[in-house]
Structure 1
Amino acid sequence: MSNPMPFKSQSESERSGDILVSFSSRWIDRLRGNFPNYIFRRRVPSSFVPKRVFVYVASPISEIIGFFNAKYIQQITLPEALNIASEAQIDADELKKYFRGYNTVGCYAIHDNMIFDEAIKLSELREHFDFFPPQSFVALSYESSGWIDKKLSKPPLQDSLSKQADGTLRGGFDESKI
């Protein structure tokens, strides 16, 4: 594509309400497995609570692997974060090291999450967008949120569908999970 669309919203009026948060590739097993109840970050949105938080796993994975919905986002103290560190699936020493020199901890309380059956690769993002993985997070444009929704709602091949115990179809995208 010669003129890729912006992935990041350029203004508040272009902001879709979704964000993308980058994670180190060492978090991949924790994010794909038993998803944490809390996510701790140095920077979090302060002017709005996002509708969805897309999860980008950095190199060498370089993919959007899913999203989560946040019940709330708040700034908490390091001792408060240490009290819930096990629910965030992070070791206390690792948490202390990550937040050394910081007075507060940005905390996403996770409502629910969805891990995609088929992740969205960095090469595909760059094919359509002016995409550079953020160091922390980026607010998505309407165009990028809409593109992700269309990509995920492609009907899967009938043979690849399997009904889960909760009634959802595995292999496609269930909008009721949003």
Structure 2
Amino acid sequence: MNQKAQVVAAVYDKDIDAGRVVGRSLKSLREAVGYTQLQMAERLGIGQAAISKIEARGDVQISSLKKYVEALGASLRIEAAFNADSAVSTRLREELQLDEHSSRQLVLPIFSSDELTLEASKDLILSIHPQYSEKILAGKKTVELRRRFPLSTARGTKVYIYSTSPVRAIVGSAEISEIIKLPIKNIWARYSKCAFIKKNDFEEYFKGLSEGFALELMNAKTFETPINLEVLRERFNFTPPQSFIYAKQEMRRALMDEQTNISN
């Protein structure tokens, strides 16, 4: 069995406990990189016996696991994988507005030591009615309300504002300063004035829910030239989301370039 196969076998071996699975995987990875136990011990500043113990048992803290993996020249990622056909996977795809793909699993991150990778993929595109997008870009409306939104979204995340019909264009950007999840009545009491929404419209929007989300916004900027839907479709095969989507890498790069043509 080659080294790659040994790593895969260690990860998926169901005949032993989870700790030993981790230990065997670490050993296989170390051997694949070409380090001896003594070399790993020197890189980590610990004794060889400690390396042997880790690889024999594997029941280490995440912080220690992170150091071990980084000593190999890699970064640690821990993910949760949901079966693609499960009810949980279907609901999460809908709530997070994730693209469908051929994978048999929905994989979501739990932990990553690669901060740049995490931050680089999180720009959002929000669909917002023109009467509200105009007020956001004018600095008047500082809160956007949503029925569902991932609380894991990082503060400072860039959001690009797609102004819906009749404008049908990405008209500017803002940043998320805070995401608040509250009972519906508390959202109205706290944000009704800065959200610029009528009570009837508010109640209709949140109908059937007990809780909702308030996205506090900052640093709103207007594009000097809006990017209309026809251009977005032609360049990026873009379909306006009902609520929001994560910007794909090619589109995110282009939108970042477009910000050289925005007014403060």
- TM class, shorter-chain normalised? 0.7 to 0.9
How far off its partner does 1:46 sit? 3.3
Partner in structure 2 of residue 42 of structure 1 = 147
**In 2, distance between residues paired with 1:152 and 1:115?**
9
For the 8 Å contact 2:132–2:196, the answer to whether it is kept is no
Question: Quick one: structure 1 residues 173 and 61, their matched pair in 2 at CA, closer, same or farther if it must change by over 3 Å?
Answer: closer
What is the percent sequence identity of the aligned residues? 23
Pair 1:17 & 2:113 matched: no
**In 1, distance between residues paired with 2:240 and 2:135?**
20
How far off its partner does 1:93 sit? 2.5
**In 2, distance between residues paired with 1:39 and 1:65?**
16
Q: Determine which structure has greater relative contact order: mean sequence separation of CA pairs < 8 Å that are 6+ residues apart, divided by chain length.
A: 1
**In 1, distance between residues paired with 2:225 and 2:251?**
17
Partner in structure 1 of residue 132 of structure 2 = 27
Partner in structure 2 of residue 56 of structure 1 = 162
For the 8 Å contact 2:181–2:211, the answer to whether it is kept is yes
Give the length in aligned residue pairs: 150
Instruction: List gaps (5 residues or longer) in structure 2.
Output: 1-97, 102-106, 109-116
For the 8 Å contact 2:123–2:157, the answer to whether it is kept is yes
Letter in 1 for 2:198: D
Alpha carbon RMSD of aligned pairs, Å?
2.5
Q: Is the strand fraction higher in 1 or 2? A: 1
**Residue 239 (structure 2) aligned to one of 111, 120, 132:** 132
How far off its partner does 1:55 sit? 0.7
How far off its partner does 1:80 sit? 1.4
TM-score, length of structure 1 as denominator length: 0.73
Encode CA deviations 1:23-55: one digit per residue, 9 max, x unaligned: 124434433434312110112123323621111
Partner in structure 2 of residue 72 of structure 1 = 178
TM-score, length of structure 2 as denominator length: 0.51
**In 2, distance between residues paired with 1:75 and 1:149?**
29
**In 1, distance between residues paired with 2:144 and 2:222?**
16
